[in-house]
Structure 1
């Protein structure tokens, strides 16, 4: 039982949202276990624990809410803009896994029940993280009125987890799994169907529901139908004339609009200008010591290392800042070699090489595309949908290869989401026969990743064109393995470009062929999936889908990656530097205001 009291509310029995003929509040233990298993413990912790008091004849029922989080509870709406933005990003990121639960008939009742809250003030922030109270309740006796839920949901938690609304008046004659929004509006849909059936019956009926009399149709009654047929024929003939054909395109509005992409580009430009100013200030204030170590304002090296005192031999290993001005060499970064039972340490470069693969897709028209991918579980590989799009049709073929694989592997497509502009996602999950490759650990951050140093890995096409091994592979040499390309950079900005689409814009150079490859922090954890490049006047900008979006896509699949949220603390093997006596005059920046020449 959580022991930190948050709030208390008086309820009426009609306010309780039910699931399986029981109030959702009474299924808290089942709900928490479901969220912890399918969405992660952090998602489960966002929903406060209820303590229900049934009341008596004189007192109405009450619900007291508790949390395991420590700290002052403040309403989300009362936070300063910066704190509120961070809390809202966290909320949107961690609610996304519930979309899959809400669309699964086996779990939709619980998921939709926990997403029902009375109002916008039911989100509190405790210790910097959002906690939702009063879930499982709808105001004014609407708990049992399913028809009132969609509009109410859109005004409350729908701001952070949009669900596709049902089409009013639409019914299906064949069974289909209900969508989340359709389940929310089940009552309204049932009323529509019932009303339609009553209207269509019509006429006078006897006691057993049979018509009392048969209506006689006279020849005159066919005149309107004949007129309509003549008009329809005339319209059809007109439409067939050249230049008059009209085609209804339906609702083809993209999920990601041009305006959203423009806003993201502007935000990235602003962050790039801020980054340039920060670098200029570092250059202006940098000091080169006599031993050749460059120290920037703040007392660290550009790689985020604390320099040893002059005349002192530095330790071979040192902790570095994850947001250092310059990323460290991936061959000098030491990381835990975790995954598939592996232990010990390895270099960041070796870890990435063991988990990154080349994806080759061939369509029926002999069109071949290449991209990148990475291991997310035993025999499971993630890439972009647009990488394997040419092979999605009948007769398509997908092959995965890489230095860590003994031979190229045929891949089966397990799940796909795309194109990005239409669906808000660009993911494909593949299965290969070789289950020996270790998977990436997934980092789901609790705060911003801005200025975090990252490594992008993959197989860019402009490099493959000159790769002799790739040419041999295309010629049929299945033992040939192209070389992996890694680039480093910094996360410039984070941007939401669609209702459920979140991007990391970074400076690690990408090009065509990097699509689907991993974006990794300096601790070897996956932080994004590289998806596309925007060409600028001076440099290309890389865009990666966030791990929050990836985890939402992986829900309901065999992939169950290890998820961590701890901030990165890189461990670096220092380069050797010359040792200069500390007493050497004019070499210590603390005693000599004039910097030594480098």
Structure 2
């Protein structure tokens, strides 16, 4: 059955290893997992797992995975919610736990379900409209033993167990062992054993011994006397055997010492292979990204007071709270321990011209491909640990339209905007976002540099089934191969990635709210927020989500219609150009 999917996150999983069953890697068994849940009558809990779209396969897993959910709404990390919303999500996790635990057995389906509950850390729990959703499930940091892995839940209350800190001496408990420690007859809500209690068999033996001793004392002490005498005799025999074993061990050690050479031969150490410059660069980049990830994860674990103290100590301004305007000219945190640069940094603000709209280019002087190439922009939204990638397009001389889910978690509402006509990266600020269900729109005000001249793309509701359309944007699968894109991520704001064009036809127009335009112009993660245009170059929709059909292995694309776009812009009082 096909179902609409909404993007949550693109994960760099090159440092993670995929867990396996006989059928292969766990993330690749999403459909089997859903089928098993349905067979158990638990299909309502299927949305707990985000649907993966895997990137290039590696010896241990995948280089990257994009995660989607059929739930409509913005995915927010559990740690980023207020107390009430977080408790609602934890309640949902408790319900899922009570339903799933009895089925974590040793059957193939139980093993799949059990391994799918592993996540690298609690940072991988997102919440969409009050429902918890797991990303990076079935994955663990490379070299991690399943028996010592972080767990999804572990406390009696059912709350997610925190990932162990590097300085912690407590041994984490895996979901596998925790599940095995719970008898099938355990009442719901009793909690998962944490490994610190007395083993059930030991407890049973202690109870039996105690009962026997109590019973023995009822026979005027005779049984007790026999037990004491037998204990003393056994102790004497044990001491004698221990003495004999000690003597034999002493002679054995002396014989080994006399026969051993005084200077043992040390095998020659082979020379270290010479590392190619390309391999060294990739290794250094990966190590840098891992340090960045650790830095941001450490920040997320701080309390608000500790976080404020950190920024003040390092001369930084903390990100503005929701609804507040960020302080102009203040950069994101750009110095992590060890000299690493976390996430994606923002380009500097231009001079006094930063508040002056760019000049509008004459569309009649441009071909349709030139209009779309210059009017479509790449958007990088810095988020804790990296950046969210998407696409947008100019709707007036100073603002860009994109999807809300592209910029929803941007730190301080600040983003990076770039394309060929801008000749480099510009800083943008999110100034409006949709709030109604299905209103997946956001507007960015761009801080232009002097001389910027951009084409404004007009909106049109003139679209019909079988019309030829094209999608323009920056899909991650292509951008990751673009040297300019990699330079931009490294802080070279003059680097401009290539915009990607795909074409197709309108398959159907669904009269939903908002209107959904189903088309065949292929898009993927990174295209979100990009324009869907007709043969005249007019924008008829904004690419928002994809639809996957597991039965036929087919993908279709869906854009929100321009009628919904214009209604949103009118509501926010934002100017645009409409073609009748």
Which structure carries more relative contact order (alpha carbon 8 Å, separation 6+)?
1
Higher helix proportion, which one?
A: 2
Normalising by the residue count of structure 1, what TM-score does the alignment of the two structures yield?
A: 0.36
